[in-house]
Structure 1
Amino acid sequence: MTKRAYKYRFYPTPEQEQLLARTFGCVRFVYNSVLRYRTDAFYERKEKVGYVAANAYLTALKKTPEVVFLNEVSSVPLQQCLRHQQTAFKNFFEGRTKYPAFKSKRHRQSAEFTRSAFKYRDGQLFLAKCKEPLAIRWSRELPSEPTTVTVSKDSAGRYFVSCLCEFEPETLPVTPKMVGIDLGLKDLFVTSDGHRIGNPRHTANYAAKLAKAQRALSKKTLGSKNRAKARQKVARVHAKISDCRMDRLHKLSRQIVNENQVICVESLKVKNMLRNPSLAKSISDAGWGAFVRQLEYKAAWAGRQLSAIDQWYPSSKRCSGCGHVVDALPLQVRAWTCPECAVEHDRDVNAAINIKAAGLAVLALGENVSGMGHVSLSSSR
């Protein structure tokens, strides 16, 4: 059995909206208070506060008269936020993430409920301290009873519930098809079969609408209700762009996984690529990281194989016919002729063919296939 989250949108009643607002506020208050306590303990007394000590601090905090409002909401989300904070500190000390940041009320709000704080009965979900079920728009049935439920509100004012359930993934029939994928900006990606998937450029499509909303926001008085409304309009445009991007990526990744037994991709360091100021916005809009991540878990569910080659492998500069590697291939050069075998190459198709060959070699040899050393973004693409 595998765990999977099923996300749905729901529409709270006015009473539920008030309860959720109090819950989000209390979760944010506890998270920030404990984070401040742990930070001060380290810098002032050189003490490392673990989860047990943080939990004891929360217990003492709830007994003070100034924060009696914490008892108005379920204690489970408050406890869960400490567990999430402990995970954030673990990731920080192991070098995977930055130091945990304080939560802001202007960003996404969330609260996690375990089985003791919700009831799922006859297709209805009841949260703790809530008499009525959530008005969820069930787009599909849950495969099992949820183990945890996460309620969230995004910056655009929309409410979502994510149900973590156990499910049995369905293995797809074996197919002989294999594909190499070269990610790009002009085309979202090009396959080793020569198929090109265009880049819809969602941000550019909504650029005029977003600029208009941002201009209106800049003219509103700080702290006013009109400014809050204008900020939400900007957030709705950003949410629309994000939804369009994720919808397309999910459909494309599902199609690739359904059609191919082996999928070969590049191990791109997207965060490092975003340091390039001239390409950062286009790379973010393309969603390379999300696309590869979707291919990875969907391939695992379907019994497919995903092979990731070394990021420094010269897929674009290597001739797929004879293997000759040219010294330099600037990004603006989209077609080139091999000086050894005189074969004309389309840059992207040639790269996809090389990625497929290298990915299959990784599967066959059980090791990574490296290139000819570290190269820059412009020459490696």
Structure 2
Amino acid sequence: MLKAYKYRLYPNREQQEFFAKCFGCARFIYNKMLSDRIDHYKETGKSLKNTPAQYKADFPWLKEVDSLALANAQVNLNKAYNNFFRDKTVGFPKFKSRKFNYFSYTTNNQKGTVHIENGYIKLPKLKSPVRVKQHRQFTGTIKSCTISKTPAGRYFVSVLVETEIKQLQPISSKVGIDVGLKEFAVLSDGSRFANPKHLRKSEKRLAKLQKDLSRKRKGSNNRNKARLKVAKLHEKISNQRSEFLHKLSTKIIRENQAIVIEDLKVKNMLKNHKLSKAISEVSWSMFRTMLEYKAEWYGRDIIIAPSNYASSQLCSSCGNKSSQTKDLSCRVYICPECGLEIDRDYNASLNLLKLAL
């Protein structure tokens, strides 16, 4: 099984210049190949089979960087085309902008060209290894690695490793999860997890930094310093959100054999402009993705409730359906048939649990 491990890099000035060249060349070859394919299709009506090697004669500076970075840019372009032809809603491949402050390139391990030893990682085409903070060890064969630079100016390497993941012992417990905005998740076993609202807690500070950034002259060093402050705060919020979701998803996977979650259409829910900001902040889609791949790793079962399953409108005791909870301000479900009074979110989680039972 393939698993990625992400570590912080501390490159020196020479290594940073090499990374900048790789980022730029990978972006250039992607855009150039995409542009030539579009032009060739307009002229002939046929697709063009081009490769990075065809451009090295006209652009000799492409030889200065890792050739595998260019090859992987071609792989990404082909993947973008395949995704478009598979599903038109994905959209046609887009050009990469150099104004986008997140940069990355991918290289492959060929007979030990990528390896970590004594706090340093060896990368192809680089004379000296790069200092890395390897905060956790791994066992297995390195297949590839992706070097990235965040808008905050930090460097990371994501090492893709082919390894064996030991599955957890099977257990009998099952749980239904109802996610929400007031409380992030309510479980059928009675557990409740508050919505941390990391963005809301940092909004005043973020607004102050963005206001300072808007007042700086474009192209000045002070503007770049202000941009870095905004980027670092955004990165902090993102890290806080990821940490919360990782800890919660791992806890649920370890403690339950079967997990039932709703099939939420988040893209449609974001059309509600009053709640779109809160829905984006809470990251339900990321939480579901984490549960799904961790369940696959550790031998757990994920059950997705049908989109038409009205978990919040059904009585968990008698099964009667009532539309009272369509009003989001209604926090207590009162069954008109059996008289059950129960918290609406807990009631929904119990109904989801029935799908596992």
The TM-score bracket by the shorter chain reads over 0.9
> Structure 2 counterpart of 1:31, which letter?
Y
Contact 2:174 2:356 survives alignment (8 Å): no
Structure 2 counterpart of 1:80, from 72, 91, 95: 72
The match for 1:370 is none
Judged with a 3 Å threshold, the aligned counterparts in structure 2 of structure 1 residues 206 and 234 are, in CA distance, closer, same or farther, namely: same
1:70 equivalent to 2:62? Answer yes
Tell me the distance in 1 between the aligned counterparts of 2:3 and 2:90. 24
Cα displacement string for residues 103-147 of structure 1 (whole angstroms, at most 9, x for unaligned residues): 123331111111239331645421122122111100111212311
User: Matched residue of 2:126: which SS?
Assistant: coil
Structure 2 counterpart of 1:227, from 223, 232, 236: 223
The match for 2:102 is 108
Contact 1:181 1:191 survives alignment (8 Å): yes
Judged with a 3 Å threshold, the aligned counterparts in structure 2 of structure 1 residues 311 and 359 are, in CA distance, closer, same or farther, namely: farther
1:137 equivalent to 2:136? Answer no
Contact 1:120 1:145 survives alignment (8 Å): no
1:247 equivalent to 2:243? Answer yes
Contact 1:41 1:47 survives alignment (8 Å): yes
Instruction: Give 1:44 shift.
Output: 4.4
Contact 2:114 2:142 survives alignment (8 Å): no
The match for 2:151 is 155
The match for 2:184 is 188
Tell me the distance in 1 between the aligned counterparts of 2:224 and 2:45. 41
Cα displacement string for residues 157-176 of structure 1 (whole angstroms, at most 9, x for unaligned residues): 11110111112111212222
The alignment's TM-score, normalised by the length of structure 2, stands at: 0.95
The alignment's TM-score, normalised by the length of structure 1, stands at: 0.89
> Structure 1 counterpart of 2:38, which letter?
T
The match for 2:90 is 97
The match for 1:372 is none
Judged with a 3 Å threshold, the aligned counterparts in structure 2 of structure 1 residues 121 and 354 are, in CA distance, closer, same or farther, namely: closer
The match for 1:376 is none
Equivalenced residues, count? 352
Tell me the distance in 2 between the aligned counterparts of 1:300 and 1:311. 22
Tell me the distance in 2 between the aligned counterparts of 1:148 and 1:223. 36
1:346 equivalent to 2:343? Answer yes
> Structure 2 counterpart of 1:89, which letter?
Y
Tell me the distance in 1 between the aligned counterparts of 2:330 and 2:57. 68
Contact 1:309 1:359 survives alignment (8 Å): no
Contact 1:217 1:227 survives alignment (8 Å): yes
Cα displacement string for residues 292-314 of structure 1 (whole angstroms, at most 9, x for unaligned residues): 11111111211111111112210
> Structure 1 counterpart of 2:181, which letter?
L
1:3 equivalent to 2:7? Answer no
Cα displacement string for residues 184-222 of structure 1 (whole angstroms, at most 9, x for unaligned residues): 000001001222100010000110111111101111222
1:334 equivalent to 2:331? Answer yes
Tell me the distance in 1 between the aligned counterparts of 2:44 and 2:178. 52
Contact 1:265 1:359 survives alignment (8 Å): no
Judged with a 3 Å threshold, the aligned counterparts in structure 2 of structure 1 residues 92 and 339 are, in CA distance, closer, same or farther, namely: same
User: Matched residue of 2:62: which SS?
Assistant: helix
Contact 2:333 2:347 survives alignment (8 Å): no
Tell me the distance in 2 between the aligned counterparts of 1:237 and 1:107. 15
After TM superposition, where is structure 1 displaced by more than 4 Å over at least 4 residues in a row? Answer: none
The match for 2:310 is 314
Tell me the distance in 2 between the aligned counterparts of 1:187 and 1:146. 40
1:47 equivalent to 2:46? Answer yes
Contact 2:324 2:330 survives alignment (8 Å): no
1:236 equivalent to 2:232? Answer yes
User: Matched residue of 1:342: which SS?
Assistant: coil
Contact 1:110 1:152 survives alignment (8 Å): yes
The match for 1:197 is 193
User: Matched residue of 1:146: which SS?
Assistant: strand
Tell me the distance in 1 between the aligned counterparts of 2:124 and 2:200. 43
User: Matched residue of 1:9: which SS?
Assistant: strand
Tell me the distance in 2 between the aligned counterparts of 1:122 and 1:135. 10
Judged with a 3 Å threshold, the aligned counterparts in structure 2 of structure 1 residues 234 and 43 are, in CA distance, closer, same or farther, namely: farther
The 10-residue stretch of structure 1 (336-345 or 96-105) with the greater mean CA deviation from structure 2:
96-105
Unaligned runs of 5+ in 2: none
Cα displacement string for residues 6-28 of structure 1 (whole angstroms, at most 9, x for unaligned residues): 11111101110010011111111
Contact 1:38 1:48 survives alignment (8 Å): yes
User: Matched residue of 2:308: which SS?
Assistant: coil
Instruction: Give 1:36 shift.
Output: 1.5
